[in-house]
Amino acid sequence: MERFIIEGGAPLHGTVTPSGNKNAALPILAASLLTDEPLTVRNVPRIRDVEDMLALLAGLGVEISELSRQDLVLRARDVRTTELSRDICAQIRASILLAGPMLARAHEIKLPPPGGDVIGRRRVDTHLAALRALGAQVVAGDGFEMRTTGLRGSEIFLDEASVTATENALMAATMAEGTTVLLNAAGEPHVQELARCLNSMGARISGIGSNALIVEGIDRLHGSDVTIGPDHIEVGSFIGLAAATHGELLIQNVAPEHLPMVFIAFERLGIACRVCGKVGVAEAVLPARGVDFTRRHSPAGTDVLVPATQSLKIESDLHNAVPKIDDGPWPAFPSDLMSIALVVATQCEGTILMHEKMFEGRMFFVDKLLNMGARVVLCDPHRAVVVGPSELHGERLESPDIRAGMALLLAGLAAQGQSIINNIGQIDRGYERIEEKLQRLGARIERVKV
């Protein structure tokens, strides 16, 4: 086991580059099963969830080689088994993403129960309904056995805009006979990345970025060479880290078009970001609200500056009403940043309601913040009222899941004194070598074995 030891109170300063988006990497790695040709995937974050996915793929017979630590070549010449490792599946929820490509390629899969974060009920019903609509027979017991005599296109209305169910249905539909129309589909940046990857492999997917995807099935996909885009959740985490420690960060090589609601939410907390970069030989710097988010690449550049001077004053709604930050499916504020935003709010002047609509267990780390001196009222599993600013002090903490773990790390860096965070394997599932990035920014953090 390992833990982080943090001496808080040091402002973060410098330049940082986010890792590749793990939620794009996982389905794209799974898509390697759809072809017997090589799929080169670049900028892969080497985090624990990715290592578990690679282990599952290797167990199925996928050949994996490294061009560099971040650049991988996967080739599924033959699928030698249709049964996944129970032990590995128990560690990673994304194991369910192998269902769609395995049904398309091998026509069957035996999938043990997926694991992952305990942040509330996480249904798989939407996955099963979509795959059944495409022609799969599913037997659910202690895990899932799925078979098909041939996938067929269908019109499917998802009962929720599930990211991974959308991805599973997309991968299965690429090689189904006929046309699939996927309605109420998720449109998150990582779903878009997967769809573009599949198209680069020969798939015919239109409507990318909308909630209505059309897939023209084909017989065979080919290899490709794709690059994983920046993790917008990690970008949001660094914005929060800069603000809460009263530091200044330049976050390089981000995708501003993925961040409009992130910028709006942080502005509500009194945190202003700037999108900047090079245009010709002149440097362009624009307030985040000045960016044309309808464009694939911002004309102002691809870097985000979080200046040291911030008001950190919560912006009230009209007539001095208490404002709120709430989450939802894309393009709303992402659920994965709710824990970060809540901790940042404890360092801001004013009162705000944090409304986590999607997962009923996301807020259950709040008791640890109370022990650190935060003033937070947990109204129910979905809502918390934060009154700030609070002077936090160091505490011994336990990381319950990826995002709460990162939020507690942020709290430790903002607090006075020493904090110890145990169970940091949870943080490692979503953030690549985070302590090394933070050390380069001036954070006093160490990883120690226990």
d(CA 244, CA 411): 8
Q: Is residue 286 very low, low, confident or very high in pLDDT (cuts 50, 70, 90)?
A: low
Tell me the mean pLDDT in the region 341-370: 94
pLDDT at 277: 73
Checking if the pLDDT of 148 tops 70, the result is yes
Checking if the pLDDT of 216 tops 60, the result is yes
Q: Is residue 359 very low, low, confident or very high in pLDDT (cuts 50, 70, 90)?
A: confident
| Domain CATH number, residue 108 | 3.65.10.10
Tell me the mean pLDDT in the region 278-283: 40
Count the neighbouring beta carbons within 10 Å of the beta carbon of residue 294.
7
Checking if the pLDDT of 300 tops 50, the result is no
Q: What is the pLDDT of residues 385-399, one digit of tens each?
A: 999 999 999 999 999
7 with 29, same domain: the answer is no
Q: Hey, is 265 helix, strand or coil? A: helix
10 with 76, same domain: the answer is no
Looking at every residue in the chain, the average pLDDT score rounds to 92
Q: Please check whether residue 186 is in contact with residue 161, taking contact to mean a CB–CB distance below 8 angstroms.
A: yes
Tell me the mean pLDDT in the region 398-407: 92
Strand 324-326 to strand 282-287: parallel, antiparallel, or no bridges (unpaired)? Answer: unpaired
Q: What is the pLDDT of residues 56-77, one digit of tens each?
A: 999 999 999 999 999 999 999 9
Checking if the pLDDT of 268 tops 70, the result is yes
Nearest to 6 by CA among 281, 355, 405, 347: 405
Containing domain of residue 434, as a range? 2-19+230-449
d(CA 60, CA 108): 12
402-414 vs 232-244: helix crossing angle, rounded to 10: 20
pLDDT at 290: 52
pLDDT at 142: 86
Checking if the pLDDT of 121 tops 70, the result is no
Checking if the pLDDT of 296 tops 80, the result is no
Both tokens of 1, joined, read 């086991």
Residue where a domain terminates, one of 225, 251, 276: 225
Q: Is residue 373 very low, low, confident or very high in pLDDT (cuts 50, 70, 90)?
A: very high
Query: Count of domains in the chain?
Result: 2
Single-letter residue type at 206: S
291 with 410, same domain: the answer is yes
Lowest-pLDDT range, 56-60, 298-302, 309-313, 358-362? 298-302
274 with 406, same domain: the answer is yes
Q: What is the pLDDT of residues 3-50, one digit of tens each?
A: 999 999 999 999 999 999 999 999 999 999 999 999 999 999 999 999
pLDDT at 184: 97
Percent of the chain with pLDDT over 90: 86
Q: Hey, is 101 helix, strand or coil? A: helix
Q: Please check whether residue 132 is in contact with residue 166, taking contact to mean a CB–CB distance below 8 angstroms.
A: no
301 with 179, same domain: the answer is no
186 with 290, same domain: the answer is no
212 with 264, same domain: the answer is no
Checking if the pLDDT of 166 tops 60, the result is yes
82 with 171, same domain: the answer is yes
pLDDT at 67: 97
Tell me the mean pLDDT in the region 271-277: 90
211 with 240, same domain: the answer is no
Residue 189 preceded by cis peptide, ω within 30: no
Residue where a domain terminates, one of 193, 225, 257: 225
Q: Is residue 301 very low, low, confident or very high in pLDDT (cuts 50, 70, 90)?
A: low
Positions annotated as catalytic residues are 117
199 with 271, same domain: the answer is no
Residue where a domain terminates, one of 209, 225, 241: 225
Q: Is residue 141 very low, low, confident or very high in pLDDT (cuts 50, 70, 90)?
A: confident
Which residue's structure tokens are 């059944």? 132
46 with 102, same domain: the answer is yes
7 with 123, same domain: the answer is no
Percent of the chain with pLDDT over 70: 93
